[in-house]
Amino acid sequence: MLKGTKPALIKRIQPVSIHGQISLDVTFVDPSEPDGQVSLARLGPESVPKDLEAGDRVEMHYMLGVVTQISRVKVEG
């Protein structure tokens, strides 16, 4: 995908320190296949909602096939 978004279901969030810089390893799956292939994105904390938890449904923002940001899915109702 050049640029766009895809829905995802968060499986796990793991903080990682690389040379003192904190990043987040976020594992996720396609919500239509919750037992399907697990993917991983490494992002800075500024690109992830503060209270993100496993089980949350989100939108993954892509640029040139790489996740650049995660945003919450707006719940209607």
Q: Give the chain's domains with CATH numbers.
A: 3-72 (2.40.50)
Q: Is the dihedral of CA 8, 12, 13, 18 positive or negative?
A: negative
Do β-strands 39-43 and 66-72 pair in parallel, antiparallel, or remain unpaired? unpaired
Is the pLDDT reported for residue 76 higher than 80? no
Give pLDDT, residue 8: 98
- Grade residue 74 by pLDDT with cuts at 50, 70 and 90: confident
Q: What is the pTM of this model?
A: 0.91
Amino acid at 39: S
Give pLDDT, residue 64: 96
